[in-house]
């Protein structure tokens, strides 16, 4: 019996990378009976049959998982957020950050297409960059067409399993191609009428980039909060999470409650007002959804 990680899944076959190479494996029939689906990124035990082939016997417990792309045990998510075509959208960025924080992944914010903006236009972008860096996030302002801009990002990929996230048309496939030219992923043109990129996804695979593994299919196709409870939202905003123990009332939602340390921090300029506004907006969204029975 050997151990390894699934790096690709396609047509019922799971390609497991171990210290002895990559093995094409089938899953045990018991997985189907128990409605268990092995995922790319899973750590598994497998039994080697013929050379290069085997059967997956068991799946080790997952640290986290995504549905789209179907991948498990992710260390970090690189949020690609363009500053032009489409324009920078801090509300959407915060949606991505909340989803990533809820999955206990480390976010890296990549602001792209800086070559499409003038220095004057970039002033507001630098302001946002400072806001997110003060929270503690890694923020990089890059252009995929400028040599050397991706070097710093490559260092962050080492020894990590990463997934690329971001809205359609921001350049996720272009980024993956720039990181690993052998991928040659199809990039979607921006639809002028819709302002959205065309779908260019395919089966998911973990590919080696910069000494780490990166999912070659972008993540987070939906960004609703259906699975999140209202009292979980604050934990997904680090600057709120770090202050909420100072609130007078336990279980404070940092909304209308008196003597709230978070609201005081907003007034004192220690928490960016735009981030707090987005928190309240998401809180209202969670509280307004219809209960499921």
Q: Is 159 left (phi over 0), alpha (psi -120 to 50) or beta?
A: left
Confidence (pLDDT) at 169 = 67
CA distance 274 to 109: 17
Tell me if 66 is assigned to some domain. no
| Cis amide leading into 3 (omega within 30) | no
The pLDDT profile of the chain, 293 residues, written as one tens digit per residue, is 899 999 999 888 999 999 889 999 998 877 877 888 899 999 999 998 888 999 999 999 999 998 878 899 999 999 998 888 888 999 999 999 999 999 999 999 999 888 888 788 788 899 999 999 999 999 999 876 676 778 888 889 999 999 988 877 666 777 777 777 766 655 443 333 333 334 444 578 899 888 999 987 776 656 778 889 999 999 999 999 999 999 999 899 999 999 999 999 999 999 999 999 999 999 999 999 866 54
Confidence (pLDDT) at 11 = 84
Tell me if 275 is assigned to some domain. yes
Q: Which helix (H) or strand (E) holds 127?
A: helix 119-135
CATH number of the domain residue 174 falls in? 3.40.50.300
Do 161 and 277 reside in the same domain of the chain? no
Confidence (pLDDT) at 196 = 37
Confidence (pLDDT) at 139 = 95
- Last residue within a domain, chosen from 215, 250, 275: 215
Do 77 and 48 reside in the same domain of the chain? no
Strands 21-27, 43-48: pairing kind: unpaired
- Structure tokens belonging to residue 196: 């959205």
With beta carbons less than 8 A apart as the criterion, state whether 259 and 247 touch: yes
DSSP E strands, 104-262: 106-112, 138-141, 161-165, 206-209, 212-215
- Candidates 223, 225, 230; CA nearest to 255 is 230
What is the domain count for the chain?
3
Could you list the residue range(s) of the whole structural domain that residue 77 is in? 71-215
With beta carbons less than 8 A apart as the criterion, state whether 3 and 58 touch: no
Tell me if 221 is assigned to some domain. no
CA distance 29 to 8: 19
Confidence (pLDDT) at 191 = 33
């Amino acid at each position: 019996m050997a151990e390894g990680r699934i790096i690709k899944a396609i047509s019922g076959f799971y390609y497991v990378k171990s210290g002895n190479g990559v093995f094409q494996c089938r899953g045990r029939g018991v997985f189907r009976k128990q409605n268990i689906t092995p995922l790319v990124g899973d750590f598994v035990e497998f039994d080697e049959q013929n050379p290069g082939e085997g059967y997956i016997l068991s799946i080790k417990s997952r640290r986290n998982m995504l549905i789209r792309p179907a991948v498990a045990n992710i260390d970090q998510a690189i949020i690609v957020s363009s500053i032009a075509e489409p324009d920078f959208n801090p509300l959407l960025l915060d949606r991505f950050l909340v989803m990533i924080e809820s999955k206990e992944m480390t976010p890296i914010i990549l602001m792209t297409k800086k070559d499409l903006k003038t220095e004057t236009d970039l002033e507001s972008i630098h302001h946002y960059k400072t806001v997110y860096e003060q929270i503690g996030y890694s923020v990089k302002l890059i252009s995929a067409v400028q040599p050397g801009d991706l070097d710093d990002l490559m260092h962050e990929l080492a020894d990590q399993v990463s997934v690329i996230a971001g809205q359609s048309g921001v350049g996720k496939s272009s980024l993956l191609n720039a990181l690993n030219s052998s991928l040659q992923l199809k990039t979607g043109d921006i639809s002028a009428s819709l302002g959205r990129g065309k779908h260019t996804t395919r089966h998911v695979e973990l590919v080696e980039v910069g000494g780490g593994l990166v999912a070659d299919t972008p993540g987070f196709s939906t960004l609703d909060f259906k699975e999140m409870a209202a009292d979980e939202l604050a934990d997904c905003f680090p600057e709120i999470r770090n202050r909420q123990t100072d609130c007078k009332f336990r279980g404070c939602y940092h909304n209308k409650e008196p003597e709230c340390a978070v609201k005081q921090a907003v007034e004192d300029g220690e928490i960016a007002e735009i981030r707090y506004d987005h928190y309240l907006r998401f809180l209202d969204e969670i509280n307004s959804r219809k209960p499921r029975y």
